[in-house]
């Protein structure tokens, strides 16, 4: 029996892969007896930040390419995401409740998976540890003691408002450059409105994070108030950029905040790119300065929490096993991969490596010509300044093509060919 600790994206992915191949799995999670500060649902595989899994463009975006790699490997997370998707232009966004419920049903109904509610306090000698970036308490202390400490950075989520409280007289539906089916609600601001919003954002009170040891913030999930402090036009060239957006009359705004569906019905809308650590009352005050959100009803406010990750280059092999302890694996964001899809990838690959070792006594890692292989190798490669890593083209083996569009297409074709080769190499 394989014991997997943590029933988030990585843990559920690993459990399902092994169970579907006949391996008995014990999947351990502290829910529903206990929750981290960022979790709210009793279901497994809960998305605690955005409901977006980012781009779905296989040949134009590295995360889109990674999604297709996972689909080819039989990913449960991708199956769930595709089944519970909500309109989001070129991105893959999901109804977060249905997504978690889908995965939970698959896990609970599988005859080879035994789901155990337990707060684990010690690292096991074998199995997969996928407790996530919010690992805390005695387990965190044990990991730190056994593996030379752990690092952490801040992560943040964005507010969600009810769709019927958005003033559509001051908003319009549409995708950037008209690419899509009008999936986003756009909340325009003129210069005066933007300046007032910016001033309020910069002066608003933030939540104090006294208990955390560091004050590092992950660049890929930067709070909007931190971004705003970098310059008065930073937001207009970032998450609030108006480029490619115009209303029915052809008007262009000075800045635009976009809202994205959080559920299939479209009754809940997330503020795109507006991760924040402002106090709840301040979030309502500041975002309500945007004309379309003047009467917005907030269903959930943004929060910031600590994300923990290992110094993986000193600890892990590229197959996610612990150096010197080949039967013990880590998976998920605690390994230093950053993002929902990346986390699922690490869980799936860790399970594949466990399976190969059980059946063959050995395993092999995908080449760095695919995103899965490149991320696996990144977390194990010597790096004095190791930081969490998203899917991106920069970690792939280079290819000598100058035209950017053709290069991305070629990288995509090469990556999928490598994943198919890797899939064929998995033990039967």
pLDDT tens, position by position, 203-256: 999 987 644 334 455 556 689 999 999 999 999 999 999 999 988 888 899 999
- Name all domains of the chain by residue range, CATH numbers in brackets: 2-152+306-425 (3.50.50.60), 160-302 (2.40.30.260)
Higher-confidence position of 140 and 1: 1
Q: What percent of the chain has pLDDT over 90?
A: 71
Cα dihedral 127, 6, 345, 277, rounded to 10, equals -140
Place of tokens 């909500």: 86
- CA 87: distance to chain centroid? 18
> Residue 122: what are its φ and ψ, rounded to 5°?
-135, 145
Bridge partners of 255? 189
Q: pLDDT by residue (tens digit) across 85-118?
A: 999 988 999 999 999 999 999 999 999 999 999 9
- DSSP structure class, residue 302: -
Distance CA 76, CA 146 (A): 32
Q: pLDDT by residue (tens digit) across 175-206?
A: 988 887 888 999 999 999 999 999 999 999 99
pLDDT at 210: 45
Q: pLDDT by residue (tens digit) across 132-158?
A: 877 878 998 999 888 876 666 667 789
Distance CA 401, CA 407 (A): 5
| Residue 169 scores a pLDDT above 70 | yes
| Residue 125 scores a pLDDT above 50 | yes
pLDDT at 279: 92
pLDDT at 150: 67
Write the CB contacts of 399 (distance below 8 Å, at least 6 apart in sequence).
407, 410, 411, 414
pLDDT confidence tier of residue 37, bands split at 50, 70 and 90: low
| Residue 286 scores a pLDDT above 50 | yes
Q: What pTM was estimated for this model as a whole? A: 0.77
| Element containing residue 63 per DSSP (H, E) | helix 62-72
CA distances for 10 relative to 16, 80, 173, 298, 330, angstroms: 10, 13, 35, 30, 9
Instruction: Please give the average per-residue pLDDT across 313-339, as a whole number.
Output: 95
Mean pLDDT of the chain, nearest integer: 91
DSSP three-state, residue 7: coil
Q: pLDDT by residue (tens digit) across 398-419?
A: 899 989 899 999 999 999 999 9
Is there a contact between 169 and 248 (Cβ–Cβ < 8 Å)? no
Cα dihedral 328, 333, 339, 342, rounded to 10, equals -10
> Which span out of 30-34, 243-247, 257-261, 262-266 was modeled with the highest average pLDDT?
257-261
Distance CA 334, CA 152 (A): 9
pLDDT at 177: 86
Distance CA 277, CA 226 (A): 9
| Residue 347 scores a pLDDT above 80 | yes
Q: What percent of the chain has pLDDT over 70?
A: 94
Helices (H) and strands (E) in the chain, counts: 11, 17
Closest of 269, 271, 291 to residue 283, by C-alpha: 271
Instruction: Please give the average per-residue pLDDT across 358-365, as a whole number.
Output: 95
| Residue 261 scores a pLDDT above 70 | yes
Exposure string for 80-95, b = 16+ CB within 10 A, e = fewer:
bbeebbbbbbbbbbbb
Higher-confidence position of 372 and 48: 372
Q: pLDDT by residue (tens digit) across 58-79?
A: 999 999 999 999 999 999 999 9
- CA 249: distance to chain centroid? 36
pLDDT confidence tier of residue 360, bands split at 50, 70 and 90: very high
Is there a contact between 41 and 147 (Cβ–Cβ < 8 Å)? no
């Amino acid at each position: 029996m394989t014991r997997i600790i943590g029933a988030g994206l990585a843990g559920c992915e690993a459990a399902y892969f092994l169970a579907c191949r006949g391996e008995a799995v014990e999947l351990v999670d502290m829910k529903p007896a206990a929750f981290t500060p960022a979790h709210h649902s009793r279901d497994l595989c809960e998305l605690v930040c955005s409901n977006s899994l980012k781009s779905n463009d296989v040949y134009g975006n590295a995360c889109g390419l990674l999604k297709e790699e996972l689909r080819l490997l039989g990913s449960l997370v991708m199956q769930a995401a595709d089944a519970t998707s909500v309109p989001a232009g070129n991105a893959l966004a999901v109804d977060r409740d249905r997504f978690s419920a889908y995965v939970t049903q698959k896990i609970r109904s599988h005859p080879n998976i035994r789901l155990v509610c337990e707060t684990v306090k010690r690292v096991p000698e074998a199995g997969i540890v996928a407790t996530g970036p919010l690992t805390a308490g005695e387990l965190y202390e044990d990991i730190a003691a056994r593996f030379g400490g752990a690092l952490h950075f801040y992560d943040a989520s964005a507010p969600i408002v009810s769709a019927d409280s958005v003033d559509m007289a001051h908003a319009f539906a549409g995708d950037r450059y008209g690419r899509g089916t009008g999936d986003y609600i756009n909340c325009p601001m003129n210069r005066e409105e933007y300046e007032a919003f910016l001033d309020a954002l910069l002066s608003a009170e933030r939540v104090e994070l006294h208990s955390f040891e560091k004050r590092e913030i992950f660049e890929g999930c930067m709070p909007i108030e931190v971004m705003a402090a970098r310059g008065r036009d930073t937001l207009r060239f970032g998450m609030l950029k108006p480029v490619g957006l115009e209303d029915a009359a052809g008007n262009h705004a000075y800045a635009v905040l976009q809202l994205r569906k959080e559920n299939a019905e479209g009754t809940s809308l997330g503020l795109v790119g507006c991760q924040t650590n402002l106090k709840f009352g301040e979030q309502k005050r500041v975002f309500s300065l945007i004309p379309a959100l003047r009467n917005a009803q907030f269903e959930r406010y943004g929060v910031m929490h600590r994300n923990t990750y290992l110094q993986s280059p000193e600890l892990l092999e590229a197959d996610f096993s612990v150096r010197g302890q080949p039967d013990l694996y880590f998976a998920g964001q605690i390994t230093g991969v950053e993002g929902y899809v990346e986390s699922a990838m690490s869980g799936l690959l860790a399970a594949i490596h466990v399976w190969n070792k059980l059946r063959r006594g050995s395993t092999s890692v995908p080449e760095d010509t695919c995103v899965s292989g490149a991320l696996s190798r990144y977390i194990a490669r010597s790096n004095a300044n190791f930081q969490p890593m998203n899917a991106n083209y920069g970690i792939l083996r280079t290819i000598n093509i100058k035209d950017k569009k053709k290069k991305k297409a070629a990288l995509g074709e090469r990556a999928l060919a490598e994943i198919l080769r890797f899939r064929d190499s998995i033990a039967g």
